[in-house]
Amino acid sequence: MHKYESLKYWAKIKARIPHRCQRCGVTISKGEFYYKERIDFVKPPPGLILRELCERCGQHTINRVKGKA
């Protein structure tokens, strides 16, 4: 487990450029909403990978995380 795991959260973002969902591989077009992992209060280290998920996968992940809390 990474020491930054407790600082991560999911933010709903409107795409300005095309992205790809890192769970299912669907293309997120410009203007669509997607979920992106964010970290507050610290500058992320260069090797830290923050995921981007389509709206469907993001909703599923957020609901699963809320169920654990």
pLDDT tens per residue across span 1-54: 567 788 888 999 999 999 999 999 999 999 999 999 998 877 878 888 889 999
What is the Cα–Cα distance from 36 to 51, expressed in whole angstroms?
6
What is the Cα–Cα distance from 61 to 31, expressed in whole angstroms?
21
Q: Give the residue, 64 or 36, on which the prediction is more confident.
A: 36
Contacts of residue 38, Cβ cutoff 8 Å, sequence gap at least 6: 8, 9, 10, 11, 50
Residue entry with tokens 């992320």:
44
Q: pTM for this structure?
A: 0.80
Report the pLDDT value the prediction gives residue 34, as an integer from 0 to 100.
97
pLDDT band at residue 66 under the 50/70/90 scheme: low
CA-closest candidate to residue 5, choices 50, 43, 36, 46: 50
Residue 53 one-letter amino acid: L
